[in-house]
A and B are shown apart, each in its own frame.
Chain A
Amino acid sequence: MGLFRKNFGLLAFAAALGLAPLALPNDYYINVLILCCFNALIVMGLNLLMGYAGQVSLGHAAFFGLAAYTTAISTATLGLPIPVGMLAGVAVSAAVAWLLAVPTLKLHGNYLAMATLGFGIIVSIVFNEAVGLTGGPSGFVGIPRLKIAGFTFTSDKAYYFLSAAVLWVATLVSRRVIGSRTGRALRAIHVSESAAQAMGIDIARHKRFVFVLSAVYAGVAGTLYAHHLTFVAPSSFGFHFSVQLLTMVVLGGMASIWGAVAGAFFLTSLPEFLRMFEEVDILIYGGLLIACMMFMPSGLAGGAQAIARKLKAGVRRG
């Protein structure tokens, strides 16, 4: 019973991910769901970094892109097996994050945001200018469709289930990291670095850990993205996407793993729902964002919690 209740969220999430395709009116939307999973992966990592540890990154699209281009080049240009390319992609994202963490995580608040912003822009320029390697602004074509141990993920449905499974595992990992002493240390660093240090917590090490972990999440999403679309272009990995990711974190709810999922799914699928409004869709999108933040300042997760509390109180009152 206790075990079931403790893991109820994860079980419900697995069921929801598994049943989601049944609710779709046609197969076009499965691609939207796949994109939701990718974004949720990145946002979950970014939420560990921002929501829990309090370190802002305005350059996370770069980690997503680095992994995508690495696996693209490894598999299409160099002809390496796909799993090797994907591993290399994630490894490059992680390694770059590790190198970047050493100088930047000494910075606080706006300075860290500025440093990561600069990093994102530099990476974006490299994607555009290293034409021989990346194909430049017109993009990189001919990335092979994902194939693991002889099985090719030709149908979008199969790809969705793979992406959903990866997202589910990432959720499990996030929950376990947060539920450990490392998670407490990260939350402590968010509120008071001096108190965290006074408790014997090595701040530099923990910040670096969570930064690299968030880059790994973005990297996994990037490699899945590349082998799904079979085409990548620099415009997908620019400053605009970094800001979108940040918006998903805040809208979903800081320091909430479910909030990260909710924020990513909501903001990724919202444009599809707004398509019918044609030219004013972007206005409605903005209006909804403002309304959400006005009425749910602690995000979708915080809003849901507040509603649940009210319902509970109502039930008790009878």
Chain B
Amino acid sequence: MADLLEVRNVSVRFGGVQALSEAALTVRQGDITSLIGPNGAGKTTLLGVVSGAVTPTGGTVRLAGQDLSGLPIHLRAQAGVVRTFQNLEIFSNMTALENVMTGAHMKAGYSMLDSLLHTPRFTREEKRLRELAMEKLEFVGLAERRDALASDLPYGEQRLLELARAMASGPRLLLLDEPAAGMNNKETAGLGTIIRRIRDELHIGVALVEHDMELVMDISDRITVLHFGSVLAEGTPKEIQDNPDVVAAYLGED
């Protein structure tokens, strides 16, 4: 399968700290690629470089061959790169449904004039957006919570809501930053199933940063191990588990 995301030779420096040096990451269409490594290895920074939140000092980021370097965050989102957040960033002032409809912001095909005059196009498009949002809420199992204020949802459901919101924007590449953080085992297993369905049914590429090794080993197609800002190893879950360098640096220390 073709490479959806190609990150090459990316370096990032924060003041005196070299957060990433010559890091690389590849995500293929319809694959789940996990980024693992000890705390401070640069995983979130690397996701930030892809989403546009972090400006690298060097290197390239390509999505399906298109160079994303220099594009601001919202234009990368429009190109198909959409992320979720390690520290939840749900829209707490909206209902669950409105959150997901906001995710579908770019999909709305009407102008300000349409919304002022409530033209048939406005009504039609809003209806379509609502249906699209409901579909995504159903996908993550939150359909009955549609009218709940997002901030009233329990933590695990807020994580799922963020996922539904990201899905609603129609991404080609989904960046998930510790989506299982704060979830119990049952919720994590449910999340694993949802991420797998994102890959298998929607053929979206997923880049996953996650500390839950059971989840990572279970659902990943490929794994990239970061260590002090550089790639230590890259391969299938099996190869990574058998890699002596990785075991020494990271996995074995449990």
Chain A residues with CB under 8 Å of chain B are 173, 176-177, 179-182, 184-185, 187-188, 190-192, 194-203, 255
The stretch of B33-41, B102-110, B207-215, B238-246 in contact with A is B102-110
Q: Which 4 residue pairs of A and B lie closest in terms of their CB atoms, listed nearest first?
A: A180-B115, A200-B77, A195-B89, A197-B73
| A298 CB → nearest B CB, Å | 12
User: How far, in angstroms, from A182 to B108 measured CA to CA in the complex?
Assistant: 10
Does any Cβ of A come within 8 Å of B13's Cβ?
Answer: no
User: How far, in angstroms, from A185 to B103 measured CA to CA in the complex?
Assistant: 9
* Cβ B115 vs Cβ A182 within 8 A: yes
Provided the pairs A197-B73, A202-B74 are in contact, do residues A192 and B91 lie with their beta carbons within 8 angstroms?
yes
* Cβ A201 vs Cβ B105 within 8 A: yes
* Cβ B91 vs Cβ A200 within 8 A: no
Residues of A within 8 A of B112 (CB): 177, 180, 182
User: How far, in angstroms, from A306 to B217 measured CA to CA in the complex?
Assistant: 49
Residues of A within 8 A of B73 (CB): 194, 197-198
Instruction: Kindly name the residue among A177, A190, A196 whose own CB sees the greatest number of chain B CB atoms within 10 A.
Output: A196
User: How far, in angstroms, from A179 to B125 measured CA to CA in the complex?
Assistant: 13
4 further contact pairs, Cβ within 8 A, besides A187-B94, A199-B102: A176-B115, A179-B115, A199-B169, A255-B93
* Cβ B115 vs Cβ A200 within 8 A: no
Provided the pairs A185-B102, A187-B91, A203-B74 are in contact, do residues A198 and B115 lie with their beta carbons within 8 angstroms?
no
User: How far, in angstroms, from A202 to B51 measured CA to CA in the complex?
Assistant: 15
Residues of A within 8 A of B53 (CB): 194
Residues of A within 8 A of B94 (CB): 184, 187-188
| A234 CB → nearest B CB, Å | 35
Does any Cβ of A come within 8 Å of B197's Cβ?
Answer: no
User: How far, in angstroms, from A177 to B117 measured CA to CA in the complex?
Assistant: 10
Enumerate 16 A-B pairs (CB-CB under 8 Å) in ascending A order.
A173-B116, A176-B115, A177-B115, A181-B105, A181-B108, A181-B115, A182-B112, A187-B91, A190-B93, A191-B90, A191-B91, A194-B73, A198-B166, A199-B169, A202-B74, A255-B93
* Cβ B82 vs Cβ A176 within 8 A: no
Instruction: Kindly name the residue among A187, A195, A198 whose own CB sees the greatest number of chain B CB atoms within 10 A.
Output: A198
